Amino acid sequence: MAAASPNLRIALRFLTSRKRAMAMSLTCITLGVGLFVITRATTSGFEGLFIRTMLGTNGAIRIEEKTQDVVGVMQADTGGPQSSNFKISNLEDRKFIHGIEEPELLMAAVRHFQNVTGVAAVLTGSRRVRNSFNEENGQVFGVELDDFLQVSDLGSQIVAGSLQSFRETPMGLLVGQVMANRLKLSPGDTVLIDADDGAVRFRVSAIYETGVNEIDRQRVYLHLAEARSLLRRPTGASLLQINLRDKDRAPADAFFISRTLGYSAISWQQRERSWLEVFRALKLSTLLTVMLFSLIAGIAMFNTLAMIAMEKTREIAILRSMGYTRRDIAAIFLWQASLVLAVGSGLGCLLGVGGTWAIATLPVRIRGIFATDTFIVAWSGWHYVEAVVMAAIMVMLASLLPARRAARLEPGDVIRGSAQ
Amino acid sequence: MPPAPDPLALRCENLHRYLGGGEGRVHVLRGVSFAARRGEVCAIVGPSGCGKSTLLYQLGLLDRPDDGQIWINGEQMSGADDGLRTAARSRHVGFVFQFHFLLLEFTALENVMLPMRKLGRLAPAAMEARATELLTAVGLGDKVRRAAAHLSGGEQQRVAVARALANEPSAILADEPTGNLDAKNSDLVFELLTSLARRNGQAVVMVTHNPEMAARCDAVRPMRDGQFIP
């Protein structure tokens, strides 16, 4: 305190002279920052879980179709001396051929992309799955387990049985939690999957749960060789699922894979666009709500500083008579705002940490687009930075007017008693 | 060898000042010229509304003239910008008003140190020593750490005198400094102000309604209708 500037000293004293108003401003800023952090943590938490779930089930990029130019280039007749020399390129006019003809070759090519960490061929087909209790529409996923584990979170989605059992059982099957419940299946049980010429019996090696209702109800994983036999597809694959080191680069990687390999590669951002838009809209609406908190904090600050500016006109005039400049007077008010902002932001961040932690322990069971039994929150330092920046903008904007008003006071007018 | 200081701490020539607007516009100062010598105490007297305080604020650069010139320590100030005028107030002028205008959130010591902190000429320890010395000189050596709000009216005005002297200004401008005090305290404050200023070679310009006090000054300048009268 010994080395503090005179303006800071005066700001501190002015602040402490209006304890109640200052406590109100401090409370508003604390709540503004704290609620901002908590809201961002909860909305980002669910969005993050959704993205992790989608990446863990369907991968960062999928290749399902081959592209073929229908009208690639059309060149004009250049025979005669009068003819023009032009050509039309129409790369958008393409034909899509479903499926992958040479999955091994394509996988080898995809592995050359720097950001790719895994690629797996998947053979899919719709088949009825039944047992003595019930029957369900199933989506057969024929996979090479080790390849598929590199492009999904299947390893961590097992809720009963084991992947080792699946690995060791040629006729093994992985079934989703919802289908297992409907067919009353446990590891070790058998089910029949319809084939073109009858039905094939498989043994449940494990039950998985992704939290995505559609997947958990329909998808059954088989060994690729058994899927080929069941679906009568001795070669090729339905799709390639790709995992990336940097998931955010998926659109760029998908673009380059498409351009380079002649297959249509779809990034997770493109595939899940609808849900991501929902989360974006949700984030926007909550952002508007929390901005209101910051606005209230700003108004409280304005109110307090405006009161101080009105009450302290004589003190301001006397400071000006002693040689304090207009800038000093403005600085005194901005210091007051900064001090309240600093303390309020610190307390708000603590409130944010405590509130986020408390909310994370709240039990809430959600299934459908992801699976969770507790409130999901995202811990990110950026939420705190955003909250403090938002509060700083509001508080500083709110303090500019009182600061300017105080700085513009003419000391002679005030002392003469003709101010205001 | 530094040049000898100007014997005139402040001076003005042909000052004009209008206050108010429209039909209520009043010509408060009508071509006033005045000079204050170092070590001399000058009283400006006259009826209320004759322009005494307005002149004092003009001389102290708290207000701008509509016409005329002001010099402080030989430096032309009437056309100077706000920054230069504020700096000149800090270095060369000390004010004592009818109401003490102390910052009540601060102690007596801190109030006296406020102008010193702004000027920044002394180290913090030296500022504190000088403020203590000034407060002791005005008889408040035992109350330096007391909050200004907890001092009596006379004591508060004595702190205001100490504060006015803090930066060793060339001129002290006092606007009815004893107007709000009882006879005993009026006497005490007047004595302190004039004796300290004379001892330090500072000019004191005092606006007062009190004829006894005016009579004790080195010079008396009566004013009427915005002008000095012979």
CATH 3.20.20.70 fits B8-228, yes or no: no
Of the three residues A182, A208, A237, the one that is the final residue of a domain is A237
Q: What is the ipTM of this complex?
A: 0.88
| Backbone dihedral angles phi then psi of residue A141, each to the nearest 5 degrees | -120, 100
| Main-chain dihedrals φ then ψ at residue B61, nearest 5 degrees | 60, 25
Q: Do B97 and A322 touch (CB under 8 A)?
A: no
Comparison of pLDDT for A369 and A41, the residue scoring more: A41
Does a structural domain hold residue A109?
yes
Exposure string of B94-118, with b = 16+ CB inside 10 Å and e = fewer, is: bbbbbbbbbbbbbbbbbbbbbbbbb
CA A193 → CA A214, A229, A349, A361, distances in Å?
A: 19, 12, 56, 42
The pLDDT confidence band at residue A94, using thresholds 50, 70 and 90, is low
* Within-domain flag for A84: no
In the predicted structure, residue A115 carries a pLDDT above the cut 50 = yes
List of E strands, A70-171: 73-75, 87-89, 94-98, 116-130, 135-143, 158-161
pLDDT at B173: 93
Q: Are residues A313 and A194 in the same domain?
A: no
- pLDDT at A74 exceeding the cut of 70: no
Please list the rounded mean pLDDT of every run of 10 residues in chain B (230 residues).
72 91 87 91 91 91 91 86 90 86 90 93 93 91 92 90 91 86 82 84 90 90 90
CB contacts of B54 in chain A (<8 Å) are 416
Q: Is residue A74 part of a domain?
A: no
pLDDT band of residue A354 (cuts 50, 70, 90) is very high
What's the rounded Cα separation, in Å, for the pair A411 and A417?
10
- Cβ distance B101 to A6 less than 8 Å, yes or no, reads no
For residue A2, what pLDDT is reported? Answer: 45
Q: Does a structural domain hold residue A280?
A: yes
Are A285 and A221 part of one and the same domain? no
- A90 pLDDT higher than 80: no
Q: What is the pLDDT averaged over residues A401-412?
A: 84
pLDDT band at residue A420 under the 50/70/90 scheme: very low
B106 to chain A, closest Cα gap in Å:
7
Residues of A in contact with B104 (CB under 8 A): 17
Pairing state between β B93-96 and A239-244: unpaired
Distances (CA, A) of B199 to B38, B41, B170, B191: 10, 12, 12, 12
Nearest CB to B83; choose among A317, A318, A325: A325
Tell which wins on pLDDT, A45 or A356: A356
Range of the domain at A337: 6-55+275-416
How far apart are the C-alpha atoms of B51 and B226, rounded to whole Å? 5
Helix axis angle for B124-137 and B153-165, nearest 10°, is 130
**Which tens digits make up the pLDDT trace of A133-180?**
888 899 999 999 999 999 999 999 999 999 999 999 999 999 999 999
Interval A220-251: pLDDT, tens: 999 999 999 999 988 889 999 999 999 999 99
Instruction: Select from A190, A221, A237 the last residue of a domain.
Output: A237
Q: Tell me, yes or no, if B71 comes closer than 8 A to chain A by beta carbon.
A: no
Of A13, A323, A418, the CB nearest to B90: A323
A298 touches chain B (CB under 8 A): no
What are the φ/ψ torsions at residue A324 (nearest 5 degrees)? Answer: -75, 130
The verdict on A319 touching B (C-beta cutoff 8 Å) is yes
Which residue of B19, B82, B106 is in closest CB contact with A13?
B106
Given a cut of 70, whether residue A80 has pLDDT beyond it is no
Cα separation, B131 vs B151, whole angstroms: 17
Same domain, A279 and A233: no
DSSP B24: G
Whether the predicted pLDDT of A384 surpasses 90: yes
Where residue A346 falls among pLDDT bands split at 50, 70, 90? very high
Q: Name the average pLDDT for chain A.
A: 86
CA dist., res. B78 & res. B131, Å (int)? 31
Of A16, A17, A323, which is closest to B87 when you measure between CB atoms?
A323
**Residue carrying structure tokens 């003239």:** B65
Q: Which of B118, B163, B165, B167 to mutate to test the interface with A (most CBs of A within 10 A)?
A: B118
Least confident of A59-63, A152-156, A387-391, B187-191: B187-191
Flag whether residue B62 sits within 8 Å of chain A, measured between CB atoms.
yes
**A366 within some domain:** yes
On whether any CB of chain B is under 8 Å from the CB of A13, the answer is yes
Q: Which residues of B touch A328 (CB under 8 A)?
A: 118
Phi, psi of A126 (to 5 degrees): -95, 130
Q: In total, how many domains does chain A have?
A: 2
Assess whether pLDDT exceeds 60 at residue A76: no
Nearest to B114 among A3, A322, A411 (CB): A322
Does residue B154 sit at the A interface (CB-CB below 8 Å)? no
3-state SS assignment for residue A240 = strand
For residue B60, list chain A residues with Cβ-Cβ distance below 8 A.
321
Q: What share of chain A is helix, strand, coil (3-state, %, to 5)?
A: 55, 25, 20
Decide if pLDDT at A358 tops 90: yes
Q: What is the pLDDT of residue B176?
A: 86
How far is Cα B78 from Cα B66, in angstroms, rounded to an integer? Answer: 9
Are the CB atoms for B72 and B61 separated by under 8 Å? Answer: yes
Q: Please name every residue paired with B36 in a beta bridge, in sequence order, or none if there are none.
A: B10
Instruction: Give pLDDT, residue B180.
Output: 75
Q: How many CB atoms lie within 10 A of CB A62?
A: 22
Closest Cα in chain A, distance from residue B26 (Å): 14
User: Do B86 and A317 lie within an 8 Å CB cutoff?
Assistant: no
Residue A374: the pLDDT is 83
